[in-house]
Amino acid sequence: MPTKKWILPEGIEDILPEQAYWLEQKRREVIETFLSYGYGLVIPPLVEYHDSLLSNSSEDLDLQTFKLIDQETGRQLGLRADITSQIARINSTYGNLDEINRYCYFDHVVRTNSKDSKGSRIPIQAGAELIGNSDIENDVEIVNLMLDVVKIFSEKKIYLDLGHVGIFKKLINSANLKKEDEKNIKELIKSKSSSEIKKYMNTLHVDNNLKNCICDFPKMHGTIKNILRDSNNIISFDPAIEDDIKYMVGLCNLINKNHSDVEIKYDFCELPGFDYENGILMSASAFLLLFIWLWPTSNIMDMVC
């Protein structure tokens, strides 16, 4: 009698022996690196009550979360789509709020859509989070840790792109647009299509100065030394943005002391991740091997394999 061939859902895959062995080796190296920096390993549950997974009210995180009903209580449960929100819960429950708390993890998440996970709906998420202080020294610590982890996976040259979600949000919030329009603009900026952004902005009733700032976003990338010159239009719109940019420059100068071999650039069109992010954002790549993000509001380094 022939064996039935089972078909897995799209975006769901097996990890077979050779790949599993490689992954386990790398998992141990990554965790050892986290521990060497003083981060404590945690293993949050795969399933939680839906409302605790979405305590930050992130709409796009909600859309990525599978929902089911607890047969014992009748309450709605969720399969975690992101471990960051779980770390926030763990810290508020068990952390010492008067001290800096460091956590790390390496585990699967489950997502309804694979577009942000390289085709997988069950990606492995590894990260380290420093909570309780957002001084630049702590941000440098988390970025240095991030780069050390990237070097575990590749000996090739590493490129670090520096962005800032807060700059985009400062501009977009002042426009008082509908959520749908904000989402559409964000996607167009990520695509770096100047013509499409301009076409879309012309359909909205927005201040011309703001419209020009948003239309200029695809031009906002290059070497760190040129970031102030290239951002004059944005700075003139909101003076608070200049402080954000100067912070980015200072951060990069400190990173270079430990990782002078890493090429650092800025790119304001780097807007991946979930909508609870509101600070500096970084992506590091070794020929597209992996991507990592940083949000200094809670000093998070997060990696999706």
Q: What is the mean pLDDT of the chain?
A: 84
pLDDT at 274: 54
- 162, 264 in Cβ contact below 8 A? yes
- 36-83 pLDDT, tens digit each: 999 999 999 999 999 999 866 577 888 999 999 999 999 999 999 999
- 224-243 pLDDT, tens digit each: 888 888 787 788 777 788 88
pLDDT at 14: 94
Q: What structural domains and CATH numbers belong to the chain?
A: 17-132 (3.30.930.10), 159-290 (3.30.930.10)
pLDDT at 187: 85
pLDDT at 284: 65
In this predicted structure, the answer to whether residue 292 has a pLDDT above a threshold of 60 is no
- pTM for the full model? 0.79
133 or 2, greater pLDDT: 133
Query: Looking at 27-36, 50-59, 87-96, 195-204, which range is the least confident one?
Result: 50-59
What tokens does 99 get? 């001290």
pLDDT at 22: 95
pLDDT at 257: 92
- 133-172 pLDDT, tens digit each: 878 898 899 899 999 999 998 888 898 888 888 888 887 8
